[in-house]
Structure 1
Amino acid sequence: MVAPNLIGCFLIKRLSKNSFLAGVIVEAEAYSQEEASCHGYAGKTKRNETLFGDPGNFYIYLSYGINNCVNIVTGKKNWANGVLLRSIAIKGENERIASGPGLLAKKFGLNRNFDNLSLSPENGFWLTEGENFKEKANIVQTTRIGISQAKDIPWRWYLKGSRSVSKRVKGDRIPPRNKCWSPPTFEGL
């Protein structure tokens, strides 16, 4: 499963030759063709064809005609698999600036024009490894949110110590500012 391994990775956008917008993925959800909440569940269409494409590409769709949602295609070609990026923490920014799929897309300037873009430095968007959160206590696994079907599948993960998580499980309180995890600074290439 790719989604939990993305927690702690940087999503980077090149702004200029030596300038970047970078944030740490702190919440992600997985989707796969065999379950009813996946856009590819009923098969390939014009709207979802990117989800059946090459792993490592963006799959970006418009939710309720309002918010862009940024996914990374995973798995294998011709099988719909993807990871929805739900929340990113950015060093020096308001902790809620990219907390939720729509805010994340807005902050990174991602919309349908970037659908099917391969993530690579040459294309201006890419992923890098970040902090390694091997301790299970740091990562919460729970059910996905904002869907009406296959709600009970526990394919959402988030970094427990982050204040940027879009929605916590019941009983998991937002950590106080003086005890929360702080995103590192992206050091560039």
Structure 2
Amino acid sequence: MRALSSSFFARPAEVVGPELIGCRLVKRQTGGSLLWGVVVETEAYSQAEPACHGFRSRTKRNATLFGPPGHWYVYLTYGIHHCVNVVTDRDDWANGVLLRAIALPTEPPRIAAGPGLLARRFGIDLSHNAQPVAEDTGLWLSEASGPPGVLVESARVGIKQGLDLPWRWMLAGHPSLSKPVVPLQPRSD
């Protein structure tokens, strides 16, 4: 389960997001064993749109999201849940993909069905923020083992702006998805 190269992440989030479906999230456990699961749901965020943490400005909290690509951007939401993102695109441009759901082959389907559950099951917290997505850090993404299945896109969830962008991808009908498909909202230009 070799890590994806840093060049894989050096592309816009809306390109990387659907290509992460079917890839594996891998974490080296204490003692050397590997915990892994298949990515079944992602969402993309870009500085150019208002739902992105970097839309307004760079802050101490969101600085990791501004690059370089191929690093983890982990933040705490509602003061209790960690959310795991991988930084994409280029330096000085806030761009990333949120990992929304992972399917672990030998565990119940809902164990990592949502960003907070995913982070909890893999033991990912703020100590992983700004770390490279690489084997030597103990937390990485590896290639898909084959075609993932039918890919569905929808509106993102848990946000109030940017609902007109089809930047959420998931495996159709998978039992580990965090939420059902959400229809796009029409633009109000």
TM range (shorter): 0.7 to 0.9
For these two proteins, the number of residue pairs brought into alignment is 169
In the alignment, the residues of structure 2 paired with residue 151 and residue 108 of structure 1 have an alpha-carbon distance, to the nearest angstrom, of: 29
Give the TM-score, by structure 1 length.
Answer: 0.85
Q: How does 1:11-90 map to 2 (within 5 A)?
A: 11-16=25-30, 18-90=32-104
Q: How does 1:72-151 map to 2 (within 5 A)?
A: 72-133=86-147, 138-151=150-163
List 4+ stretches of structure 1 deviating above 6 A: none
Matched AA of 1:49 = A
In the alignment, the residues of structure 1 paired with residue 182 and residue 21 of structure 2 have an alpha-carbon distance, to the nearest angstrom, of: 20
The C-alpha deviation readout for 1:21-45, integer Å capped at 9, x for no partner, is 0000000000000000000001211
Q: What's the secondary structure of 2:131's corresponding residue?
A: coil
In the alignment, the residues of structure 2 paired with residue 90 and residue 134 of structure 1 have an alpha-carbon distance, to the nearest angstrom, of: 14
In the alignment, the residues of structure 2 paired with residue 25 and residue 13 of structure 1 have an alpha-carbon distance, to the nearest angstrom, of: 13
Kept in 2: contact 1:133–1:139 (CA 8 A): no
User: In the alignment, which residue of structure 2 is the partner of 1:169?
Assistant: 181
The C-alpha deviation readout for 1:137-168, integer Å capped at 9, x for no partner, is x0001100000111121100001142101112
Query: Post-superposition shift, 1:134?
Result: 7.2
In the alignment, the residues of structure 2 paired with residue 22 and residue 3 of structure 1 have an alpha-carbon distance, to the nearest angstrom, of: 19
Identity percentage of aligned residues: 51
Shift in alpha-carbon separation, 1:128–1:53, aligned structure 2, 3 A: same
Which of these residues, 170, 173, 178, is aligned with residue 158 of structure 1?
170
Matched AA of 2:143 = E
Shift in alpha-carbon separation, 1:92–1:120, aligned structure 2, 3 A: same
Give the TM-score, by structure 2 length.
Answer: 0.85
Query: Post-superposition shift, 1:95?
Result: 0.3
Shift in alpha-carbon separation, 1:14–1:83, aligned structure 2, 3 A: same
Structure 2: 5+ residue stretches without partners = 1-14, 184-189
Query: Post-superposition shift, 1:132?
Result: 3.7
Structure 1: 5+ residue stretches without partners = 172-189
Q: What's the secondary structure of 2:179's corresponding residue?
A: coil
